[in-house]
Structure 1
Amino acid sequence: MKNSYIKTLKIKNVIHLVISFLILTNSAFASNNQDKPNFLFILTDDQAYTAMGNAGNHQIKTPNLDQLAASGTKFTHVFNQGSWSPAVCAPSRAMINTGRNLYHTGMKDKSIATQARPEHPLWGETFKNAGYDTFMTGKWHVSRQALLRSFTSGKAIHEGGMTYDHYNATMVNLDEKTHQLSAPYPSKKHTSELIADAAVDYLQQKPKRNDAPFLMYVGFLAPHDARQSPQSYVDMYPGKNINLPKSYLKQNTVDQGDFWVRDEILLPIPRKEEPVKQFIGEYYAMITHMDAQIGRILDSLESSPYADNTIVVFTSDHGLAVGKHGLLGKQNQYDHSIRAPFIIAGKGIEQGKVSKGNFYLNSLFPTTAELAGIEVPATVQAKSIVPLLSEQGMSDQKSGLYDYIYGSYRHYQRMVRTDDFKLIYYPMIKQTQLFDLKNDPEELNNLAADPNYHEQLVMLQSKLIDLMKELDDPLDFNAPAQSFKKAGYAIIPWRKNDKRLN
């Protein structure tokens, strides 16, 4: 009996030790989770860097984005590296989610719907493997395979391109338990509202689900056309009250290649003032409506247990012309289309700071990984901007990662810029533009033929060649269409009878 009691006591002691160990381990794990920052990533579609009140645009109302900028750090010069497709958003998202450069994402036109190279760890996938709960809502536009690799759950996900109807977009959910996608269903309400609903619901339900840190990927479809928003928001921006941009032109001065891509035919060419004003007003209405939905998400975060331990990053996939240079879309290399808004706020981020940046959107992956203490995969090519977030980085007058910024659009355009000058070259028509950005920020006066700027022209031409080699740009200026096609990229123009390809 005594031996039996002692044996039972020993078993109880062992069980007690095991339970104590588990409690301590779980407590340490919970503590580690609390030390890990959460991330709320908000990505808009087609939002120009000037389309916010905090960018000095006094015509548009974006109170929530303005408050976010005031509570964090805003970078003014953040760039989309380019596109091999008329749908510029697809390559941009491929770069964001791989952290790789334009021609190294492994996602070309024909493969984007089905593939994501397994040897390239994805942003969400890397965080998920590091113990993060990864959640997706809104526009994805990379591939289903990449979606499933990246996220543990998702709601109101728009997988592909645009349906051009914000009230009837096709959505799917990603079930956390089965890791299967639901049958497609219609949004039945404005996409901005539905996506905000999903994000708010995630934040409210998260404490009941697990204590893992999270990465939320919230991809709005707005302000991409169709220009649909509630009438009350449209009424805020009557066309008669809208000022035309300083760089408004009836028609662009050069044939940039895809001049008849669908973005450009949303209004007649040459442009007329009144339709352009109305077009801008409808664009602003979508952004203000979306800003209200972003406010709902930020309010939910503020009232959650995660308010003090979450880093919010806001940006867009690229900019948009919306009447500037006689253009409407993003298939060009002017600043209004290659630059994106960028705000980062939250734990450890300087408040009320404004800096230049001079980096690409693919820096998002390594930056957030470094902030989370996650090892950045060797396949990531982009640089982290963490050094720019320090006071020392802020005090640097340039406050930028790169002295030279590269840009590319299909086989039609190549670009290189510094803080002072920009060169755009059009290989198909052998035409060059050179702009003095300090004295001509609207990029209206082409100085390429001015002998006073010959030195800057030659320097940038040389630097463009260097960057093309560095980034493995497959384009051969002597045979642009043929070399691009040989590299596996589509060269079919929107106008399929383009005789320049013959």
Structure 2
Amino acid sequence: MRSHLNRLLFLSFLSLSILGCRSQAYRSEQMLEMPKPNILFIAVDDLRPELNCYGKSQIISPHIDQLAAESLVFNRAYCQVPVCGASRASLLTGFRPTRTRFIDYATRVDEDAPQALTLPQHLKDHGYYTISNGKIFHHLDDMKEGWSEAPWHPNESGTNWRDYVLEENIAMSAQNKGGNGRSFEIAEVADEAYFDGKTAQKTIEDLKKLAHKDQPFFLAAGFLKPHLPFNAPKKYWDLYDEQTISPAENNFRPEHAPDAAMHNWGELRNYADIPAKGPLSDDKAKKLVHGYYACISYTDAQIGKVLQALDDLGLADNTIVVLWGDHGWNLREHGLWCKHANFETSLRAPLMIKVPEIEGGQTTNALTEFVDIYPSLCELAGISVPHHLQGSSFVPLLTQPEQSWKTHTISKFHDGYTIKNDDYRYTEWSNAQGKIYARMLYDHRTDSLENYNIAEKAENESIIKQMQQTLYSAYPEELE
């Protein structure tokens, strides 16, 4: 609809372009009369930017790639916390994590930031019908007032993601008091046998219902795979030849990396077929990478079904589609698996947005953060931007993706605070008293894989001081 383009041009003209400043929403009587766009909000757990639309070729994901061809793809988007619950809490509230807020996977917004006005609540307050399917907040009942219907999950508790269908794994999990069986599963079953197939079905049913409502919608669909365990129908495993799969070659600790930067990948160690310590064999590493790829192809197929339904129902022309992965994931880089680290592989994640009548198939290298999503959707919806938001709207990038933009992004994990600019990533770990006990600096111009920590080289002290100044300004009460 032409109204979308008019709204976007209006907002782009008026949006603040000063880097580091919070974007503000501007509304006129004309905008108030414009029909609000629907929003399809697709979250994918543990998805790293290893897709064709990100210049990679090993993963088969035609539906996400097609969406990218119709979207603006953010090549340098970063989560605020490299763990699911905390990352989602930060994105959905617009708050950055702190030492006491949004710490780990079990984060609850209603405990860490009960005063927060969440994105679904704000949209609901402005006339949107809001639905949560699958994994959006980590806990199904967290900030549930923001949803027009009770949040839905294919597992009624909303907390069990293991999703086995083979009896041996179900039994193994039961013996572990509902814990983990094997780290992967290959079953000759239909897509709907696993949670994500059910989530796609439910989302399509909702689209059919919402197509007849005289009300804009915010429909959130949270897909679990490629989260562990790597369980997917056999046909998706069969897309790949395991013998051609190569796990990351930098299977070593970065030179001079501090102990604080490393971990024992406890999330993976909890599975029955993974040793409690030591590296994995090359064969096991290949099997896990194979499983990760198969799970992405499986989830891609489910997303394709949802996007096809959006189109078939005549909703695509009035619907903004946002797809994001909640954080990165390590596939043996630095000898690590899973996330839970302040490396680029844990923090960089996919983000793309399709806005009706805006040219797609574009990529921006502008530095962006997940706290930028909330204010951006507010502007695109033509509603006010809450003053508490700590991100900046990226709306101007939709029409001018090459323009100068943010100078840096900031993330943290536990005691580690990290800042990324065009050339470097700097991380420091400090205790509650602000005393620094470890630090890293990587030069992304010459070391994009972050294999050589150069923080302790005297010639880099001025670079570190400049980055510290910017980092500390974001956390004036926590860092010195």
Q: TM-score range by the shorter chain?
A: 0.7 to 0.9
**Within the alignment, does 1:123 sit opposite 2:119 as a pair?**
yes
Correspondences of 1:199-214 after superposition (within 5 Å) = 199-208=203-212, 210-214=213-217
Shift in CA distance, 207/116, structure 1 to aligned 2, threshold 3 Å: farther
Query: Residue 163 of structure 1 aligns to which amino acid in structure 2?
Result: W
Unaligned runs of 5+ in 1: 1-30, 170-186, 477-502
For residues 43 and 62 of structure 2, the distance between their equivalents in structure 1, rounded to whole angstroms, comes to 17
Partner residue of 2:236?
233
**Within the alignment, does 1:224 sit opposite 2:223 as a pair?**
no
Task: Give yes or no for contact 2:247–2:331 (8 Å, CA) kept in 1.
Answer: no
RMSD: 2.9
**Within the alignment, does 1:441 sit opposite 2:441 as a pair?**
no
Partner SS, residue 302 of structure 2: helix
For residues 443 and 461 of structure 2, the distance between their equivalents in structure 1, rounded to whole angstroms, comes to 12
**TM-fit CA distance, 1:251:** 8.9
Task: Give yes or no for contact 1:246–1:442 (8 Å, CA) kept in 2.
Answer: no
Partner SS, residue 220 of structure 2: strand
For residues 426 and 273 of structure 1, the distance between their equivalents in structure 2, rounded to whole angstroms, comes to 32
Map Cα deviations across residues 453-490 of structure 1 (whole Å, 9 max, x no partner): 34323333443333332xx4x468xxxxxxxxxxxxxx
Partner residue of 1:91?
86
**Within the alignment, does 1:306 sit opposite 2:306 as a pair?**
no
Shift in CA distance, 161/257, structure 1 to aligned 2, threshold 3 Å: farther
**TM-fit CA distance, 1:162:** 4.1
The percent identity for this pair of structures is: 28
**Within the alignment, does 1:134 sit opposite 2:133 as a pair?**
no
Unaligned runs of 5+ in 2: 1-30, 174-190
Structure possessing the higher relative contact order (Cα contacts under 8 Å, 6 or more residues apart): 2
Correspondences of 1:269-280 after superposition (within 5 Å) = 269-280=278-289
Map Cα deviations across residues 176-209 of structure 1 (whole Å, 9 max, x no partner): xxxxxxxxxxx9821110000011111122234x
Shift in CA distance, 143/301, structure 1 to aligned 2, threshold 3 Å: closer
Partner SS, residue 236 of structure 2: helix
**TM-fit CA distance, 1:358:** 1.4
For residues 470 and 337 of structure 2, the distance between their equivalents in structure 1, rounded to whole angstroms, comes to 29
For residues 246 and 468 of structure 2, the distance between their equivalents in structure 1, rounded to whole angstroms, comes to 36
For residues 105 and 297 of structure 1, the distance between their equivalents in structure 2, rounded to whole angstroms, comes to 37
Partner residue of 1:460?
467
Shift in CA distance, 162/442, structure 1 to aligned 2, threshold 3 Å: farther
Task: State which of 348, 356, 361 in structure 2 corresponds to 1:339.
Answer: 348
**TM-fit CA distance, 1:49:** 1.6
Task: State which of 197, 201, 204 in structure 1 corresponds to 2:201.
Answer: 197
**TM-fit CA distance, 1:143:** 5.8
Flag the structure with larger Rg: 1
**TM-fit CA distance, 1:104:** 9.4
Partner SS, residue 136 of structure 1: strand
Task: State which of 420, 423, 432 in structure 1 corresponds to 2:423.
Answer: 420
**TM-fit CA distance, 1:341:** 0.2
Partner SS, residue 381 of structure 1: coil
Shift in CA distance, 448/155, structure 1 to aligned 2, threshold 3 Å: closer
**TM-fit CA distance, 1:91:** 1.0
**TM-fit CA distance, 1:103:** 2.6
Shift in CA distance, 350/153, structure 1 to aligned 2, threshold 3 Å: farther
Partner residue of 1:498?
none
**TM-fit CA distance, 1:254:** 4.0
Correspondences of 1:15-30 after superposition (within 5 Å) = none
Query: Residue 443 of structure 2 aligns to which amino acid in structure 1?
Result: D
**TM-fit CA distance, 1:137:** 0.4
Map Cα deviations across residues 230-265 of structure 1 (whole Å, 9 max, x no partner): 112112234321023243338995423672352252
For residues 450 and 118 of structure 1, the distance between their equivalents in structure 2, rounded to whole angstroms, comes to 44
Partner SS, residue 131 of structure 1: coil
For residues 102 and 447 of structure 2, the distance between their equivalents in structure 1, rounded to whole angstroms, comes to 36
For residues 91 and 139 of structure 2, the distance between their equivalents in structure 1, rounded to whole angstroms, comes to 10
State which drifts further: 319-328 or 112-121: 112-121
For residues 96 and 463 of structure 1, the distance between their equivalents in structure 2, rounded to whole angstroms, comes to 21
Task: State which of 392, 397, 416 in structure 2 corresponds to 1:383.
Answer: 392
Query: Residue 132 of structure 1 aligns to which amino acid in structure 2?
Result: Y
